[in-house]
Structures are given as structure tokens and as C-alpha cells.
């Protein structure tokens, strides 16, 4: 797989940015959870010489990756519900703004996990559907009365031109075939429909500053887009880019400090206990470091 071509331009010429930090123990199931602490553990990360797309190489096979996500369980994700609710309320607003009078309509969330975004969208008046590979997460979403298909977008078999909006929050970087997935989004999206893709920005000032210490370098991340490279991919599929927003997210203080464990060498539990003692652990705060962005695009009414 060392000569696997670039997803964006097809070139097989790439330069290594960061060498592999994996050991001989092989993949760890916990590294495929949404709340994984596997920061800094990754295969070789390269940059295409032709178009600049950054991606992991070599990668696990698509079947191995799908099996890992199918088996993943993540109770910590559920514990951080409040911050995610605030984040999704904020992030759905520009989707509704661009859709105009057609909002709220029929919305699909690809990689919906336990369905927090779907709950928020339903509360805002949307007819919601979801796709999620994790059996554990899909069952919890279905238990809330949400229409969630356990599997992949391709396996779900939705009708052509059926959704007014499709969202992919923290998903595109995990896909073995981002182009193929977005082609599927194009098929099921109505003309004038909106797609919103949220991911990390490998070309952000923070990513450039931290280099190999940037925390989003992880085994479960296969592609590292920027507004430039993701914009090119989505435009080549026929979409019209409408807006690119650099957005952070809301996190409870207790959860935020628990995420610091790989960086502060044992201090994280003490910080968590401190904010609990002060009664501040449940307090949500907006964290915005400039290395996350949302690309919003439209499917034109005519090709």
C-alpha cells in the first residue's frame, strides 16, 4: 500500500511529514472511539507533492477499519452530552440559514453516533435520519426513537435526491474513501440541498506551530484536510462551496481537563478533582483554537 494514490489528484508521489509512532502491538480498539486519548499514535503521515493533501500511509484495509468501528463502544461520549448539544445547536444554524425557507426539512447525519445532533435537529423541527457503523452507538440512538441505520451510507440505500441537508461532523477524516462517500452524498441530496462537513484543519496556524505534537495526529484519522484541499475535492464533485467557518466546540470543564492526560503527565486527574470540588466540572465553555472548520456547500439545481 506504500504507493496508494492520492485521493484528491491520483499522484503516488508524496513526502513524509511525520514518521510512524506505532509499535508492533497493532491496532487498539480503544483508539477508534470518538473520545480516544490516542493522541500522537499514528502511522506515517505524508503530503502529496502534487496537490498538498495530507494523509496516513500505509493504512489499515477498509474491512479492518469497518470492523473496528462496528465494535467500538464509547460511554465517555454519552457523558459529554451537554457540551455536544450546545455545539450542535450553534453549528446547525448556518445550515438552516443557507437552506432558507426549505429549513427545517429532511436531514441525514452521516456518522451520527448516539444521535445527539439528530435530537437537536429534531427539536428544531427537522425530519431526521442517521447512519452509524458502531453497533453500540446505533442501538442507543435507536432506543431514543431515532431512525438510524447501523452500517455505511452505501449500505443504507437511501433514494436519490431525498434529503434537504446532509451533515458529516468529525467524519470525513475517518473515511477510507472520502471521494466515494461524498459522491454518495451528492446522489441522495436534493438539488439546492446543503452539505456541511466539519473536520480538522492541517494547515491551521496551531497545526503548523505544534507540528508532530498536534493532538489530532491519531491512528483513526486517515485524512488531514484543510479548507483548500477539502474545497477542491467537493468542487470537483460538482458542489458549490458557500462558506467556510472555523468553529470550536463546547466542552464541560471536567471533560476538558480529562482530555489533557496525555499532555500533563498525571496532572489531569488532580485538575478534574479540583473543578469538581469547586462545583465547576459541569460548566460548559467554548473552546476555539482555530484548527477545526466547517465547509458548507450546495448541490446546484443543474449539473
What's the CATH number where 217 sits? 3.40.50.150
Number of helices followed by number of strands (H, E) in the chain: 12, 13
| Most confidently modeled range among 2-16, 218-232, 254-268 | 218-232
Q: Which residues contact 103 (CB under 8 A, 6 or more apart)?
A: 95, 96, 97, 126, 164, 165
Q: Which residue has the cell 499514535?
A: 41
* Alpha helices, DSSP H, located in 81-162: 81-99, 116-123, 135-143, 153-156
Closest listed residue to residue 206, CA positions, set 293, 290, 263: 290
Q: Residue 99: pLDDT above 80?
A: yes
Residue 232, SS3?
A: helix
Mean pLDDT of 274-287: 69
Domain that holds residue 146: 14-248+288-298
pLDDT of residue 8: 93
Q: Is it true that the peptide bond before 52 is cis, omega within 30 degrees of 0?
A: no
With respect to residue 253, please indicate whether it lies within any of the assigned structural domains: no
Residue listed under C-alpha cell 464533485: 237
C-beta separation of 217 from 45 below 8 A = yes
First-last CA distance in the chain? 35
Phi, psi of 111 (to 5 degrees): 75, 50
> Is 68 contained in some domain?
yes
Asked if residue 260 is part of any domain, the answer here is no
In a domain, 274, yes or no: no
Span 118-125, average pLDDT: 97
Query: Nearest CA to 230 among 178, 168, 291?
Result: 178
Predicted local distance difference test score (pLDDT) of residue 36: 80
Residue 243 has a pLDDT of 97
The pLDDT of residue 101 is above 50: yes
- pTM of structure: 0.91
Residue 176 lies in a domain: yes
- Tell the residue number behind the cell numbers 500533563, with chain if given: 264
Q: Which residues of 42-66 are buried (b: 16+ CB within 10 A; e: fewer)?
A: bbbbbbbeebbbbbbbebbeeeebe
Is pLDDT at 194 greater than 70 in this prediction? yes
Out of 26-35, 189-198, 225-234, 275-284, least confident range: 275-284
Total domains in the fold of the chain = 1
Residue 259 included in any domain: no
pLDDT at residue 247 greater than cutoff 70: yes
CB 113 within 8 A of CB 132: yes
**Is 214 domain-assigned?**
yes
36 vs 1, higher pLDDT: 36
Amino acid at each position: 500500500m506504500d504507493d496508494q494514490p492520492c485521493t484528491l489528484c491520483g499522484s503516488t508521489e508524496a513526502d513524509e511529514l511525520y514518521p510512524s509512532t506505532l509499535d508492533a502491538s497493532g491496532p487498539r480498539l480503544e483508539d477508534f472511539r470518538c473520545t480516544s486519548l490516542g493522541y500522537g499514535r499514528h502511522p506515517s503521515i505524508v503530503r502529496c507533492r502534487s496537490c498538498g493533501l495530507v494523509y496516513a500511509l500505509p493504512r489499515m484495509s477498509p474491512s479492518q477499519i469497518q470492523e473496528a468501528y462496528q465494535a467500538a463502544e464509547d460511554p465517555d461520549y454519552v457523558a459529554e452530552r451537554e457540551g455536544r448539544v450546545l455545539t450542535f445547536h450553534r453549528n446547525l444554524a448556518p445550515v438552516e440559514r443557507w437552506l432558507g425557507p426549505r429549513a427545517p426539512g429532511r436531514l441525514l447525519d452521516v456518522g451520527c453516533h448516539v444521535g445527539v445532533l439528530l435530537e437537536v435537529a429534531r427539536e428544531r423541527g427537522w425530519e431526521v435520519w442517521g447512519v452509524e457503523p458502531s453497533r453500540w452507538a446505533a442501538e442507543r440512538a435507536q432506543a431514543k426513537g431515532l431512525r438510524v441505520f447501523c452500517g455505511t451510507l452505501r449500505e443504507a440505500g437511501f433514494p436519490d435526491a431525498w434529503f434537504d441537508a446532509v451533515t458529516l461532523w468529525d467524519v470525513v477524516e475517518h473515511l477510507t474513501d472520502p471521494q466515494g462517500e461524498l459522491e454518495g452524498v451528492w446522489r441522495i441530496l436534493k438539488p439546492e440541498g446543503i452539505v456541511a462537513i466539519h473536520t480538522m484543519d492541517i494547515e491551521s496556524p496551531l497545526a503548523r506551530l505544534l507540528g508532530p505534537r498536534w493532538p489530532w495526529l491519531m491512528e483513526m484519522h486517515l485524512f488531514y484536510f484543510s479548507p483548500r484541499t477539502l474545497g477542491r475535492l467537493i468542487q470537483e464533485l460538482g458542489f458549490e462551496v458557500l462558506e467556510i467557518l472555523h468553529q470550536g466546540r463546547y466542552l464541560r470543564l471536567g471533560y476538558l481537563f480529562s482530555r489533557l492526560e496525555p499532555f500533563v503527565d498525571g496532572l489531569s486527574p488532580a485538575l478534574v478533582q479540583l473543578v469538581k470540588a469547586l462545583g465547576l466540572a459541569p460548566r460548559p465553555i467554548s473552546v476555539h483554537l482555530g484548527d477545526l472548520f466547517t465547509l458548507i456547500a450546495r448541490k446546484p439545481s443543474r449539473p
